Structure 1
Amino acid sequence: MIDVYSWPTPNGHKVHIMLEECGYRLDRDWVAHPIDIGAGDQFGSEFLEISPNNKIPAITDPHGPDGKPIHLFESGAILLYLAGKTGKFLPKTTRAKYEVLQWLMFQMGGLGPMLGQNHHFRLYAPEKIEYAVNRYTNEAKRLYGVLDSQLKDNPYIAGKTYSIADIAIYPWTRNWKNQGMNLDDYPYFKRWFDLVGERPAVKRGCEVLTALRKPLHDDKAREQLFGSTQYQKRK
């Protein structure tokens, strides 16, 4: 049984989807342990033992590569681990593998952080800063444009085959309305978005822990996520 320490965020859903796509089933092959990031669970000592960056998701697999338990944090690393463990969603040939990995890095280093800032300044910042809203909304539009261009001649992000690149990118684009996007402006992306969204494992993965999520309105939750608590030194 793989233990998954997570919350219903885009990065959490990436791992939930990957597990389901790989043939693992919730509560049969893996269990989801909720880490309520609004309540500060991510700063608990037990969670920090496996995720020293105090971010979800993290996993513990009792059957690691050498037969011993392995702890992993960072969603991209977990996707790569599960792809290696199962032999799924990462091509075997060198060229095709790196074509997938470049788009995984695109999500990890660009799409995720920029859309995260977009969400923050459009939805969560205590004051609306026009410069910040415009900057990150325009960057989001640029990134959606990059995806739209890539998908013009490809059914999936890295080519003809569904991969961890698609699994990484899809959850971050589910909230396109809140990001100020209009999918009619990105027809090739919209086709891909609808295609991926209909996959049964994607639907299952995106439902994991969602019943526990609450609107982020109270001051305590905002402090846990955006305040000085984030910057305290921890052992």
Structure 2
Amino acid sequence: MITLYTAATPNGHKVSIALEELGVEYEVRRIDLRKDEQKEDWFTAINPNGRIPAIVDHDPDGDDNELAVFESGAILVYLAEKTGDLMPRDLRGRSETMQWLMFQMGGIGPMMGQANVFSRYAPEKIPYAIERYQRECRRLFEVLERRLHGRQWLAGDQYSIADIANYAWVRTHRWSGVDVEGLPALKAWRHRIRSRPAVERGLAVPSARELTPEDEEKFAEEARKMLV
């Protein structure tokens, strides 16, 4: 059994999608980011960085010796290696998967995060910062477009944790203000992933409710308060 500590964010959805794809038994503990629950002592004992997601594997080695794993990319690798799925086993395929996973961890995620901060949450609108990060996100999307031209998946010939990690962020392009027009391979890839039943289930963790425009504005206002 695995306990998933999460919230409805791209990084949280990366892990819930993977768990659903792998068919791993897990339970969900929703973390209330608005109340800074992720910074409480009990949670930082699981993730010293005080961020979601994190997991606790209650029986990693068959000896009931619990193992906590934090950082969404590390969790994806752990789950893939634990189950032997969503990660190619050959050296080339594994290397490609890790490269495109790191592409998301070091590029797509941080850049879209900054686009969100400056376009949605910052108390002052700084046009240069907004344009800089949205433009960089678009450039990274174009890298994905070139990679996906003539192929279905990012790494090798199979769906992997690299696809899950990048998709969880790319799907939120509208919130980040990133233009996705003229990227047909990326669009087809997004649709392939979105049509998977496990992805549908994973995106419903910890809540399946769709945000209305009013919800989005309320969320942005709460996020602004967390930044100051």
What TM-score, normalized to structure 1? 0.89
Q: Confirm or deny that 1:54 pairs with 2:57.
A: no
Q: Which amino acid aligns with 1:222?
A: R
| Structure 2 partner of 1:231 | none
Measure the CA separation in 2 of the matches of 1:145 and 1:199. 24
Instruction: Kindly tell me the number of residue pairs found equivalent between the two proteins.
Output: 221
Q: Which amino acid aligns with 1:17?
A: I
Measure the CA separation in 2 of the matches of 1:152 and 1:84. 28
The structural deviation recorded for 1:44 is: 0.8
| Structure 1 partner of 2:77 | 80
Q: Deviations over 1:152-171 (max 9, x none)?
A: 02201113210000011111
| Structure 2 partner of 1:168 | 165
Which ranges of structure 2 fall in alignment gaps of 5 or more residues? Answer: none
Q: Deviations over 1:39-97 (max 9, x none)?
A: 11011111000010010001111111363210011001100110011000111101110
Task: Say which of 25, 31, 34 aligns to 2:27.
Answer: 31
Q: Deviations over 1:98-117 (max 9, x none)?
A: 01100000001111000100
1:147-158 to structure 2, matched below 5 A, reads 147-158=144-155
Partners of 1:100 and 1:158 within 8 A in 2: yes
| Structure 2 partner of 1:2 | 2
Partners of 1:18 and 1:79 within 8 A in 2: yes
Q: Deviations over 1:164-210 (max 9, x none)?
A: 00011111011112223333311100000010010000010011123
Distance 1:18 1:138, change over 3 A: same
Measure the CA separation in 2 of the matches of 1:159 and 1:38. 40
The structural deviation recorded for 1:216 is: 2.1
Task: Say which of 221, 224, 227 aligns to 1:222.
Answer: 224
1:41-190 to structure 2, matched below 5 A, reads 41-65=37-61, 67=63, 68-190=65-187
Which ranges of structure 1 fall in alignment gaps of 5 or more residues? Answer: 228-235
| Structure 2 partner of 1:20 | 20
| Structure 2 partner of 1:207 | 204
Partners of 1:151 and 1:188 within 8 A in 2: yes
Partners of 2:8 and 2:206 within 8 A in 1: yes
The DSSP-based 3-state class of the residue aligned with 2:173 is: coil
Q: Deviations over 1:124-162 (max 9, x none)?
A: 111110010110011011000000000002201113210
What TM-score, normalized to structure 2? 0.92
Measure the CA separation in 2 of the matches of 1:217 and 1:181. 17
Identity, in percent, stands at 45
* RMSD, aligned α-carbons: 1.6
